[in-house]
Structure formats: structure tokens, C-alpha cells
Structure 1
Amino acid sequence: MIFTLLSCLLLNTAVQAALDTWTNGTTEECVCEAFLPNGTFPNGELILLESTSIEINRKLEIEISKVEMYEVQIKVYIAKIVNLTVLIESMEADPDSYNELHIEEVKIKIKQVEALIVELQTSLQITSAVLITIREQIDVMISALTRLEITYDRNLVLVTRRQYIILQQKLLECERRHNEIFNPNIGVCSHGGINRISKPIISQLNANLNSGYKYGGWGKDSSPVSGSENMYWYAGAADTLFTTVTLYSDYYKLIIRQAFQTNQLYVYNKYDWRGSGNNYIVRSNAVYYQYNNPFRMAKFNLTSATVETKVLPEATTRFSYHYSPNQNLDFAADETGLWVTYATEASNGKLVLGKIDENSLELREVWQTSVFKPSVGNVFMVCGVLYATRSVDSKTEEIFYTFNTHTRRETYVSIQFEKFQDSYVYLDYNPTDQKLYMYNNGYYVNYHVWFNQNDTPKLNHEN
């Protein structure tokens, strides 16, 4: 707009000078019409976003310093507990050398440590709430920037977008350190199952920046090889045909769409390894997915770019999930290994769950459930327990059913969580960070998962 008006002024000046020369002083008027777009660039909104980023950065710096302080405190508390343990063991070994006063002093020290731990736990919970709020603010800002980038000049938005990506990186690092303190048992199944799901964390629209790419998935490797612990993957399409999987070295690269590897499952006149559906996963640097033709399981090695397939006995293509067609084989991974869910004609559409041997691609064990697959939104596995979801309304999803493979026990539950948008095609749990990854109408969405921790028996999961 500014450029147009300046051009108009310069043109008026030049033409006026020419007319003055040609008409010997006669005055003429030159009119320059500027056709402005329907909407001018919202500079005010961008300035507000930048000021918000400064405020969020300040909050993050405060929380990061708190987490650093918590780490120091924990080391001090551990030292106190170790000293107390040594003292108690000494008293047990030689009780005659200690009187009631000594015992009372030990009790006081134990209560002091307990009070310190309770105080630290409260502080961690407050920090956790603050980090969730910061993440929500950043997600809102990223969505706004994505909208501006698509609608207006991309270069004008780029600097601010990078600021927010840096903030997201800081937040992820702070969350990682916080989780290691608050929940050091990632990968361990000493809990009583899912207690609740966080609000949706919306990263942004897919790497293709195409809202028509409604089918696909994204996430992290559930059992990463050394060096790829931070790697993310993405696959998206306008239909349920699975043709490409793209890899990013970390979250930052995912957000700015800088891939380090793209794998094509179809090359004309060479090979056709394409799949169907959306419920594929990456595990140990291999993609497990539903082979398109003929219908079977497939394992695509991301290093060697080779494919191995295996027929899944009795599996049928007649029953899919509620939200999407061709969801016939659903692969999942948890703390205990690799799984696949499907339906058979013999089961009349009810879900069947199989444990996969990752080396042979054979089923090691199979369980029959009583839940009808077309009524299910999606399923995922945690510690050998299957969780099935269904729609409550346009904004709410519900975990309504669980099947425990250790006890063969089925349970109907109600754990509701926000869906972000009315339908999604991909939902999987990742044991490396205890998060749910969802692909919802082309957006990257994820959730924190909380578990029942009090007075819960350990799950005797397989190795």
C-alpha cells in the first residue's frame, strides 16, 4: 500500500513538471488512482504478536531457572536421604548404641525431608501448569502466524514466525527437563493406566501447508536408534493412499519444514510399495503400514529403502474406523513392543489385537475383543493395554473402552478430551515421551498423558 501511494506521488510530480513545460505555465491536474486490496496487512496484529513473544520469552526464562533450581534441590534431597538411610542401617545393625533421643532426632530429620519433598512437588505442579499455559499461548500465536503467512506476504511474517519457533524449542527443552524431574518413569509401566489427557497442543498445519491434506500422520520413532532420538516424521495426502514419508531431524526442522530425508513408496516402472489408510508408525527406523495391493502388513526400512511384507491371516478390508475409510490394519507401539489391530469376518467386525514379532513380522499372540470396530474412532496401546476412543460430540472425544492383554480383562471407562476439530484420522501413543500424537484435519496435534500413580500395582508386561 505504501509503495503504491509513493509511486502515485512520484508520478503526479513528474507529469505535473512535464505539463508545466508543455503548457507554458498552464496548470493541469494529474489523478492517480490506487486500487488497494480488500484487506491491508495487519501491522498492528504483527506488533502485538512480537510483544507477546517478548512476554512469553520472559516467562520461559523464569520457569527454566526454576527447573534448574529444582534439579539442584533434588540432588540435595537425595544426599539427605542417602545419609538418613546410612544412619538408619547403622542403628538397625547396632541398636544398643542408640537411645530414644537419637531415634527422635532421626524422626525429625525424616519429617523435614518429607516436608521438603512435598514443597518441591507443589512447586513442580505449579511450574507444570505454567508451562501448559505458555504452550497454549505459543500455539495460538503459531496458528495466527500460519494464517498471516498463507494470507499475506510470507516474507513479512517470517521473522516473527522464527521467533515463535525458537520459543517452542525453549518450551520443549524446559518441558523435557521438567518431565524428567516430575515424571522420571517414562518407559516404565508401574502405574494403573491413563488418568486424564491434556488439552490439545496444536503445532501448525502440515508440512505441505495444505488444508486439503486431511489424511496422514506424524510423530516420533517409538524406539529410536542411536542419534535419532529427536527425529520426527510426517506423511500426508489428499486421500487415503500412503505414498511418501518425510523425516525431520528435530521439532524445529519439522516446524520450518526442512526435511533431511523423503522416502517415495512409488516410482513409475520401478516399484509400487504404496499403502492404504493412515495408521502407520515409525519404530526402530522402519515404517509399519498397511500394504495396498495385495492387502497385507508391510515394513519399510528407512535406511536401506527396502520393503518386507507379510499376510495377516483372516484380516479383512470390510471394517474400518468411524472417521476414515481403509483403516483396516492399525499399527501401534508401546513400552512392551509392536502391535496391530484389525477385524475379521469370523469376529463379525469386532476388534482383534495381535502382538507382532518385529524380526519375523509374524504374530506372536492374538486377543479377541468385544468392541465393534466401525463404532471406534481410533485405538492405541499403552503398557500392553488397548485404549479405544469414540466421538462424544463435535469437540469432544472419549476413551470409552480398554482391554488389558495381561489379564484379558475388558473395561468400559470415560476419559474425555478435547478433539480440536470434529474428526481425525490418526491417533497413536509414543512411549518415549508419553504423549498422544493426532493428525486432525491436516494439523499436527499432540497431548500429554497422565497416569494413575497412587497405590497402583505394577503391570507385569512382556519384555
Structure 2
Amino acid sequence: MLVHYGGKLDIFLGELMDLTVRVAMLESSPDNYIKLDFELLRIELREFEALVSQLKDSLNSSSPMLDSLYAEIHNMTLIVNQLETLDKNNLEVIRIEFAKLQRKLEECQKEQDIVKPDIGNCNHTGIMSVSKPTLFQMNAHLNPGYQYGGWGKDSKPVRGHESMHWYGAYSSPTVYEFYLYSNYDKLTQRSSFTHHGLPQGYEGTGNNYIVHGNTVYYQAANPFRMSKLNLTSSVYSHRQVTKASESFTYTYSPNQYLDFSADEKGLWVMYATDEAKGKIVVAKIDEKSFGIENEWTTSAFKPLVGNAFMVCGVMYATRPGDLKTEEIYYSYDTETGEEKYMSIPLQKFQEKYTNLHYNPTDQRLYMYNNGYYVSYSVRFNKE
């Protein structure tokens, strides 16, 4: 296991993500192709190759993962050296190769974990820390103007669709379409997707939607209500939440009145009420009836909160730190009513984000960060 090299791998990952973003931005702006510095790419790839070589030499035993990563970097160096023209096809080759490298690096990072995540269980006392981002990539439209949206995995996948990923993004805080990808690689390579457009009268607003049980849960725009779309049957269902107020939204998210979340305990929706004077109320959703089965009022004042999410029946709220940092600062346990204050940093690359949710199938956080996909692994305090 790569237990002692996490720091080097984190640095490696940050540099690799920078290269990935540069290539994505070049693809989205053809006029900038000439600025792609192939010699700089060669230098940086040689540095990556040297780093992995050092890691290999430092291990007492062989590491198939590092051997594979080393081979990928060497192959990409050959590809870059063979490129002779600055056309879109070559940029596409580079983008795909960077995606492969990034995926292998993520696998290396997973390999270094001493304790494997206990998926599906809640034998811990809460979040201890959040990793550095392990994915940072511009949205599938390659459009930085698509600042609103979300992405992630199905939090309760149906058989045969365990690897399905979803994505939606827009230039305004509206919701009108989603893209489904059969797996992670298809998402990062922007290929082989299924498109679902919301028909007139079913559009949404705000961006804290999720996919749970092959169903999209989102906030309908007019009239204001919670809605769901079954991705298999294309059947819509709606329920009004009479207590939910349209006067309070998150710091970064216009019109975000209903925030859907899923965890090990099931499906939830969070909203503020006038009765609670803008504080967040956590509500448990009965999935069969699509109704509210219980509610808990927290002390988190929604307009000061960046976003919120559920883990093992506990709501966690974030607030802005500096331009590159968010802070998980508050939790509310729906089982015990216990409130806690904490300071867990969450690194981000852009100041604003519009979707943050936890997925219990892999114990990761998914963020849509001002046009970019970002994800994090969550580590827990063990009992």
C-alpha cells in the first residue's frame, strides 16, 4: 500500500488537474490553440515520469498500480512528441490521455488508504475530514458560462446501472435537461450519453437535484414544488411542501429552496421556513408516497450557508471561508437531536458552487463548482 506518499501524490494530482483544465479550455476556445506549448507539456510529463520512478524505487515491494501509471505517462510522452500540428484532433487525443492518467492517479490514491471505506454502514461518530479534490474537470459542454448545474452518481442504483453517472448544467439557475452516462469514463470523455429534456410545464429551478433509484429529484419552478422524474418510465410526480419558504436560499444559489439529499438512511429534502425564521428544516421523504414523514428544525440559518448534505441521518452545513476554501461548520443529528460545531476545510477551485451532495454508494462528496466537476472522499471518526 502507498501509505507514506500521499503528499507527493496530492501534488502530482494538483499539477495533473491543471494540465487537464488547460487542455479543456483550449478545446472550448479554438482561437487559443496556438498557445498550447508542447515543449512545456513534454517537460511536465518528464517530471511526472521522474516522480513515479522515485516512488517505484522507494517501495520495498512491487506496485502494479505504479507500474501501470508509469507506462501511461511514458506512452503519453510519445504521443505528445509525435504531434506535428495544432488541430482539434490532436487536442482530443491529449484530453483522452490526460483523462486516463487522472483515473490511474485516483486509483493510486485509493490504494494508499490504510482503512477501506465501510460502504453502507454508519459505525462512526461523524465526518473527520474531507480529502483534497480527486476530480477537477470542466463540464461536458466545455463552457465556463454554464455556472449552474450538478453531477454525480445514482445514490441507490438499480441492477445493471451501478456505474451510471449524471450531469446537467445551464447558464442560469434553471433546470431543463439531464445527461446520463453509463460509467465514469464516458462522463469524463463526454461520450455515449442519454439525454432527458424536461417538457414545458415541468422545468425546474435551483440546482440541488440528485438521482436516487433511477429517478431524478428536483425542484419544480412553477408552481413551486418538489418533483421527480422516473428515468425508466418517464413518469413525473409532484408534491407541494406547504411549509417551505421561497424567501431563503443558499449563499451561492439563487432560487434554491428545496435541497434533495440521499444517504445510508434514505431520501431527504432540506428547506427553510418562515416559522423557523430562515433556519434549515430537514425532512425525511417517504419514497413510496413521495410525502414528508418527519421534520427536524436545525440552527443553521440558510442564507449564511453555502450548501448542506446528509450523511447517516446527520445534516452537515457549510459556509464560505476564503475564495478557495469552504468550511463544514455545523451538524444536526436527526436521531438524537444533537448539534455540533466543527471546522472541516473543503478545498474548491472557484468561489461559487451550486450543487453539493453526498453519495452513500462510494462515500464521496460531489460538487458542481462554477462550471467544473469536483469530487472528494469523506473520512469518518470511528467509534
* TM-based fold match above 0.5: yes
Moved more, 300-309 or 199-208: 199-208
TM-score (norm 2): 0.80
Alpha-carbon offset, residue 176 of structure 1: 5.7
Match in the other structure for 2:274: 345
Task: Tell me: CA distance 1:300–1:176, structure 2 relative to 1, closer, same or farther (3 Å).
Answer: farther
- Maintained 8 Å contact 1:288/1:297: yes
1:62-101 aligned at under 5 Å gives the runs: none
Change (3 A) 1:251 1:203: farther
Q: Is the 8 A contact 2:106 2:134 kept in 1?
A: no
Cα gap change, 1:390/1:51 in structure 2, threshold over 3 Å: closer, same or farther? same
- Residue 378 of structure 2 is aligned to residue 383 of structure 1: no
| Residue matched to 1:301 | 230
What do you get for the CA RMSD once the two structures are aligned? 2.8
Q: What residue number does 1:431 align with? A: 360
Could you tell me which runs of 5 or more consecutive residues in structure 2 were left unpaired when the two chains were aligned.
1-31, 81-85
- Answering whether residue 304 of structure 2 is matched by residue 336 of structure 1, we say no
Which of the two has higher C-alpha Rg? Answer: 1
Question: C-alpha distance in 1, partners of 2:63/2:334?
Answer: 38
**Matching residue within 197, 212, 220 for 2:145:** 212
Retained in 2: the 8 A contact 1:205–1:444? yes
Contact 1:200 1:420 in 2 (8 A): no
2:122 maps to 189
The match for 1:448 is 377
Contact 1:57 1:167 in 2 (8 A): no
Is the partner of 2:124 in helix, strand or coil? coil
Amino acid of the residue matched to residue 102 of structure 2? Answer: Q
Identity of aligned residues (%): 50
Shift of 1:203: 2.8
Instruction: Supply the distance in 1 between the matched residues of 2:331 and 2:102 (Cα, whole angstroms).
Output: 34
- 1:74 maps to what in 2? none
Aligned length, in residue pairs: 335
Measured in 2, the distance between the counterparts of 1:259 and 1:56 equals 34
Unaligned runs of 5+ in 1: 1-36, 70-126, 128-133, 146-151, 457-463
Partner residue, 2:92: 158
TM-score by length of 1: 0.67
Give the Cα separation in 2 of the matches to 1:238 and 1:279: 15
**Residues 273/58 of structure 1: CA separation in 2 closer, same or farther (3 Å cut):** farther
Cα shift readout 1:398-442 (whole Å, capped 9, x = no counterpart): 111110001011111111222222111111011111111111110
1:171 shift after superposition: 3.9
| 1:263 has 2:192 as partner | no
Does the CA-based 8 Å contact 1:169-1:251 persist in structure 2?
no
Which residue, out of 191, 206, 221, partners 2:154? Answer: 221
Measured in 2, the distance between the counterparts of 1:170 and 1:51 equals 17
Identify the structure with the greater helix proportion. Answer: 1
Larger strand percent = 2
The residue type equivalent to 1:389 in the other structure is: T
- Determine which of 237, 240, 243 is the counterpart of 1:314: 243
Aligned partners of 2:309, 2:226: CA distance in 1, in Å? 18
State the Cα distance separating 1:55 from its structure 2 match: 5.6
Report the equivalent of 1:233.
166
* Deviation of 1:213 (Å): 0.3
Q: Give SS of 1:452's match.
A: strand
User: Aligned equivalents of 1:168 and 1:416: distance in 2?
Assistant: 23
